[in-house]
Amino acid sequence: MLKVGNTVNFTPLIYAIMTTEEREIEFQAKIDNGQKIEPKEWMPENYRKQLIRMISQHAHSEIVGMLPEGNWISRAPSLRRKAVLLAKVQDEAGHGLYLYSAAETLGIDRQTLTDQLLTGKAKYSSIFNYPTLSWADIGAIGWLVDGAAIVNQTMLARGSYGPYSRAMVRICKEESFHNRQGYEIMYELANGTEAQKQMAQDALNRWWGPSIQMLGPSDAASINSSETMKWNIKVESNDVVRQRFIDRTVPQAIAAGLTIPDPDLKYNDETEHWEIGPVDWDEFYRVIKGHGPCNKKRLSDRQRAEKEGEWVREAAIAYAEKQNKKMNSIAA
Ligand code: BYC
């Protein structure tokens, strides 16, 4: 029993005498009332598992997602573009760190999560298994990949788990900047020389399909949606989010003078939505099973970074221990 100010909180006592079924009903009522769930509250085991799965995949995506763009920092075409790209890649590292911390509130430690990524047990977003072949790819990533991520994450910010939904608020603000710098690169290339325009169109041709797939399988094939949506971990389905991304992005392509690479693309006046042709789900499943163009390289680059960073972690621990000893001897 906890005493909070002058009031006594009976909740722990009540919880102790409740059956699991009663706890689940109470938990669902909280979710349905739009209440946030905080780390120390009771939660169904599968709610915890689903969150660890999703948040850790998200964290890994931010960390692996630094690789395709990092590839262009030394080759950015101007000092301004270099500074912007460097800041963006650093932001992605920061997102990864907040997200690992959010996952840790659910009782899993950082090393276990890192090991799951490095041994290939954990997934990360399919989109980061494609190569960045030209400077326009950096524009396409900011515009399309961060654009898709923002639409998804704005939805996730309304989700039920406090630490994850709050992390989304700051991440989305930073992603907005990423999205704008990407669109700016694409717009300028599309309105530049013929060769630059072709470079932008080629990047759009290669990144459009994977960006559509990135938002997850169709609702009919989405195995986790029944649980993730029942518990408001996701408040909208994959197809709803995908449609919002399409509706927002097609007019931007038109404004830049670029062509969406889909012969079936059409605007439906009745529904007021852009309709796309069939999505290549075979490609999506191939990539998430490890057979995309860069899966092996992404994993080996992360494994190498982990190994090369070992001495830094050891040095940081040794320094922290030394500081602790010093503080303890002052206190004694
Ligand atoms: N790639 O049942 P479903 C960024 C998996 S990074 C790989 O619909 P759910 C950025 C899914 O995990 C932003 N796997 O799942 C960083 C599941 O497999 P498991 C990344 C995918 O969870 C750097 C299976 O397919 N954003 O912005 O209800 C530079 C069935 O799916 C993918 C996030 O991570 C995929 N694309 O819904 C630039 C958002 N899609 O786990 C930019 C967080 C699905 O059962 N995640 N799978 O083995 C989510 O919002 C949700 O997990 C999803 C899927 C909407 C993606």
Residue 288 Cβ contacting ligand 1 at under 6 Å: yes
User: Residues with Cβ < 8 Å from 41, sequence gap 6 or more?
Assistant: none
Atom of ligand 1 nearest to the CA of 155: 50
Which is higher by pLDDT, 20 or 245? 245
User: What value does the CA radius of gyration of the chain take, rounded to a whole number of Å?
Assistant: 23
pLDDT at 331 over 90: no
- C-beta separation of 113 from 123 below 8 A: no
Which residues are CB-neighbours of 314 under 8 A, at least 6 positions away?
A: none
Residue ranges with strand state E in 229-282: 266-268, 273-275
Work out the percent of the chain whose per-residue pLDDT is above 90: 93
- CB-neighbour burial class of residue 250 (10 A; exposed 0-12, middle 13-18, buried 19+): middle
User: 245 C-alpha vs ligand 1 centroid, how far in Å?
Assistant: 15
> What spacing in Å lies between the alpha carbon of 54 and ligand 1's midpoint?
7
| CB 104 less than 6 A from any atom of ligand 1 | no
Give the atom of ligand 1 at the shortest distance from the alpha carbon of 217: 8
- 179 CB near ligand 1 (under 6 Å): no
Number of the ligand 1 atom closest to the C-alpha atom of 153:
39
Provide, rounded to the nearest whole percent, the portion of the chain with pLDDT above 70. Answer: 96
User: pLDDT tens-digit profile of 183-241?
Assistant: 999 999 999 999 999 999 999 999 999 999 999 999 999 999 999 999 999 999 999 99
Ligand 1, closest atom to CA 95?
Answer: 16
pLDDT band at 295 (very low <50, low <70, confident <90, very high): very high
Task: Tell me if 62 CB under 6 Å of ligand 1.
Answer: yes
Give 55's DSSP letter.
H
Amino acid sitting at position 66: M
Task: Report CA(51)–ligand 1 centroid distance (Å).
Answer: 12
Give the CATH class of 13-293: mainly alpha
| CA geometry: angle 168, 97, 145, nearest 5 deg | 55
Q: What is the mean pLDDT of the chain?
A: 95
Distance (Å) from CA 144 to ligand 1 centroid? 16
Atom of ligand 1 nearest to the CA of 62: 16
Residues 6+ apart with CB under 8 A from 300: none
Closest Cα to atom 23 of ligand 1: 65
| Residues whose CB is less than 8 angstroms from the CB of residue 85 and which lie 6 or more positions away in sequence, other chains included | 69, 72, 73, 76, 138
Better pLDDT: 8 or 192 = 192
- Which of the residue ranges 111-115, 130-134, 327-331 would you say has the lowest mean pLDDT? 327-331
If 0-12 CB within 10 Å is exposed, 13-18 middle and 19+ buried, where does residue 247 land?
middle
Q: What is the mean pLDDT of residues 23-27?
A: 94
CA distance 14 to 27: 14
Calculate how far, in angstroms, residue 165's C-alpha sits from the geometric centre of ligand 1: 16
Taking the centre of ligand 1 as the mean of its atom positions, its distance from the CA of residue 31, in whole angstroms, is: 22
Alpha carbon 196 to chain centroid, angstroms: 30
Is residue 7 predicted with pLDDT exceeding 90? no
**Tally of CB atoms within 10 A around 214:** 22
